[in-house]
Structure 1
């Protein structure tokens, strides 16, 4: 069996290389090519941790993918990354395992970062330049790297953290990018001064108040990917002009929009599929005064897209049927 290490995967320029495939992964959900069973979710509340199992297939692909991804949110205090996991690529022709991608969460982090950028860029205003990043973990760093790599315009970032030390640590990790990045502990000011905001925390209570968000602001909410998580004021979700989702059934069940949905403030009719926006089938932002929010809970087609891209770049797809099991 072929095992691809995290080090091999980290050497690939996947933030740019996989972006077209991840973009298509969202469109596949809206044009009928994607087979996407429900997500497996295992909470570990006593350890401030959880595990997701995602799997799916895009019609015509040579592989399907099964992924195990864990989040242990106390790990950074122990000097360990919060995310971990692996992906198994299986031949769609024979059912044999093509490769195990022992990425230890890297591919999930990267595809999430790419997905955030792909959702943010069509929904921000044309003059958006000031980007607020809420959080100081791995995903805060990856979101900045993805936007810097994929954006068609110069951007200025401000990173919010509960402590200035943690926010400054993000800046230190991004020093190689030569980007204008500032750190702050003042979340209200960050929100009021940002053209677009990306939230990346595992918060279980709202961080961003509705009255901090001015007309024209875009928000990409990444953190609420499991029951009990929430980063945005429920009133903010309810008043937004456009609500965009990666997958409505996930977002309304356990995403950022779930609290507003349970309160009866929004329903599926208010939700617009990101894939439909990307394909041009549905309009995203309609005016410079729209408040737009994208709720991304993570979908298996993203995992398929980045795994396929990596295996193809490594030359492991062409002529490979997989071993029988």
Structure 2
């Protein structure tokens, strides 16, 4: 039924106007391999090569926008308008990715931190994958796992290139979904990891995370709950901040201080993060997952941008704007993946990577999972039309 609309089928019926697409529920996505972290890391690495070559497009006049977001006012005369609680927004994240993917897609989600009181995830996400030539839908899929795994895989690709090969100790701030997928990615590329330090705000989340580690990675023999950000960072080979929180005041974001960081540490930051003056030093390598994304954010927001976008890479751009660091201190991770810039140069250098999250990641992993589903006969085929009523 789907043969006529398979994006990768060279022998489909070119004359048919019929359009079918796959609906993939969360259980379908799992059966199709969305939780295969090792494969996701490899896919994200391939995606970085396409980013560096320029074979992609995202939203905005700069083709690098994170997406388009709907936020709500503090006061409204309309009683049914949602209130602006933390993480309360709707967002659309479209992109095209070339190479063997050759597809376009958009992630759509609504987010409200109060969902947790209802037993729901903070964000509920869906993803539509489209034929890049006709624009016809290929799949409409549950995207919470898609988004979580592609997000966690990026720190994993970073660790593959920038962490020490013999890394054993990981420090994690925030024991949520992002922490689970980031640690899974670290384990996929640094198999000697046997120690984890974790800091969280609530005992329930900590207990769930500890149980998950014990069940998923029995090779991690030492797990320690710590009480401070300093303890998370000290004496670690890999550090990641995965916690959520309010934006607006960077002084409240969890901060990495130079005195805490051991020689050779790799820090991957996919969530709120700030740095002290010591971490501004030129010898601290500062790597952006996609410089274009950060420049788009910088163009789209009032200054200092770190008030609105809590990624540490935006803090670096603010520092450049203030004349406190040189622009050439900021490195392009895609260039490193492409082999045109050095990865880790020695065992002692400290490397920090900012992870912004990009819709091209959803397109890459969504395309792989969709093609797996087609090959395995997974999902529910749905018909859009046999012939369009208007054309």
TM-score tier after normalising by the smaller chain length: 0.7 to 0.9
Shift in CA distance, 81/236, structure 1 to aligned 2, threshold 3 Å: farther
- Secondary structure of 2:140 counterpart: strand
1:17 corresponds to which of 39, 44, 52: 39
**CA separation of 1:238/1:69 partners in 2, compared to 1, >3 Å: closer, same or farther?**
farther
Aligned partners of 1:152 and 1:194: how far apart in 2?
15
Give 2:265's match in structure 1, choosing from 207, 217, 221. 217
User: Which string of whole-angstrom CA distances, capped at 9 and with x for unpartnered residues, describes residues 44-82 of structure 1?
Assistant: 582101444222212243421111244433433543222
State the distance in 1 between where 2:206 and 2:314 align.
29
Given that 2:273 and 2:312 are in contact with CA atoms closer than 8 Å, whether structure 1 keeps it comes out as: yes
Pairing 1:293–2:352 present: yes
Contact kept in structure 2, 1:209 and 1:236, CA below 8 Å: no
Alignment coverage as a number of residue pairs: 316
Tell me what 1:246 maps to.
289
**Residue 6 of structure 1, CA deviation:** 1.0
Q: CA deviation at 1:95?
A: 1.4
Partner SS, residue 87 of structure 1 = strand
C-alpha distance in 2 between matches for 1:67 and 1:169:
28
Q: Secondary structure of 2:167's match?
A: coil
Q: Specify the alignment match of 2:172 in structure 1.
A: 133
Distance (Å, rounded) in 1 between the aligned partners of 2:229 and 2:329: 28
Q: Hey, what does 2:333 align to over in structure 1? A: 274
Match of 1:30 among 30, 52, 58: 52
Alignment of 1:1-325 (within 5 A): 1-11=21-31, 12=33, 13-37=35-59, 38=65, 39-44=67-72, 46-49=84-87, 50-60=89-99, 61-103=101-143, 105-177=144-216, 178=218, 179-180=220-221, 181-203=223-245, 204=247, 205-210=252-257, 211-223=259-271, 230-239=272-281, 241-251=284-294, 253=298, 254=309, 255-263=311-319, 264=322, 265-266=324-325, 268-315=327-374
CA shift at 1:111, angstroms? 0.4
Equivalent-residue separation in structure 2 for 1:136 and 1:214 (angstroms): 23
> Could you tell which deviates more after superposition, 57-66 or 258-267?
258-267
User: Given the superposition, is the C-alpha separation of residues 302 and 47 from structure 1 closer, same or farther in structure 2, using an over 3 Å criterion?
Assistant: same
Structure 1 unmatched ranges of 5 or more: 224-229
| Gap change, CA 1:55 and 1:275, over 3 Å in 2 | same
Displacement of 1:157 in angstroms is 1.5
Q: Aligned partners of 1:220 and 1:209: how far apart in 2?
A: 12
CA distance in 1: counterparts of 2:150 and 2:263, whole angstroms: 29
Q: Is the 8 A contact 1:246 1:299 kept in 2?
A: no
Aligned counterparts of 1:280 and 1:33: Cα–Cα separation in 2? 17
Structure 1 residues 300 and 198: alpha-carbon distance in aligned structure 2, compared to 1, 3 A threshold: same
CA contact (8 A) 1:107 1:306 kept: yes
Which runs of 5 or more structure 2 residues have no equivalent in the other structure? 1-20, 60-64, 74-83, 299-308
